[in-house]
Amino acid sequence: MDYQNRPQRQMHDVSALGLKCEECGAEIKELPFEPTKRDDGTYGRLYCQPCNRNRRKSFGGGDRGGFGGGRRDRY
Q: Provide the whole-model pTM.
A: 0.65
Distance in angstroms (rounded) separating the CA atoms of residues 63 and 56: 8
Segment (H or E) for 52: helix 49-58
- The per-residue pLDDT for 65 is 53
pLDDT tens digits along 9-37 = 899 999 999 999 999 999 999 999 999 99
Please provide the average confidence, as pLDDT, over all residues in the chain: 83
**Mode of pairing for the β-strands spanning 30-31 and 12-13:** antiparallel
- Whether residue 68 is predicted with pLDDT greater than 60 in this model: the reply is no
Compare 1 and 53 and report the one with higher pLDDT.
53
Are 12 and 31 in contact by the 8 Å Cβ rule? The answer is yes
* Residues whose CB falls within 8 Å of the CB of residue 30, separated by 6 or more in sequence, listed in order: 11, 12, 13, 14, 15
Domain range list for the chain:
9-64
Compare 55 and 67 and report the one with higher pLDDT.
55
Give the closest residue to 18 by CA, choosing from 10, 31, 28, 30. Answer: 28
- The per-residue pLDDT for 75 is 44
